[in-house]
């Protein structure tokens, strides 16, 4: 039973997470085999003040569009 863990910044909608989980599940099954029922996806939400990139907390960086922030 594969478990796929995803760390991402807080703020994604339920619909975004559902679409992502389906896409990842479908991709895993197509690539590695198995059934969709065997695939589990776990989302780990991280606050911007708990994530740093290039030595700087994301909460301290200039606000950027969500699409450009690291996931």
- Band of the pLDDT at 52, cuts 50, 70, 90? very high
Is residue 69 in a domain? no
Domains of the chain: total: 1
* pLDDT tens digits, 3-25: 999 999 999 999 999 999 999 99
Is residue 66 in a domain? no
For residue 24 the two structure tokens come to 């990842």
- Band of the pLDDT at 61, cuts 50, 70, 90? confident
CATH for 7: 3.30.429.10
What is the residue range of 55's domain?
3-61
For residue 48, indicate whether it is catalytic.
Answer: no
Position 70 scores a pLDDT of 57
**Nearest to 36, CA basis, from 44, 45, 27:** 27
- pTM score: 0.77
């Amino acid at each position: 039973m594969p478990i796929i863990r995803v760390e991402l910044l807080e703020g994604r909608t339920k619909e975004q997470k559902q679409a992502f989980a389906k896409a990842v599940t479908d991709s895993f099954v197509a690539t590695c085999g198995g059934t969709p029922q065997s695939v589990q996806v776990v989302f780990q939400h991280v606050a911007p003040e708990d994530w740093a990139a290039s030595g700087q907390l994301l909460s301290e960086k200039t606000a950027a569009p969500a699409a450009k922030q690291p996931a």
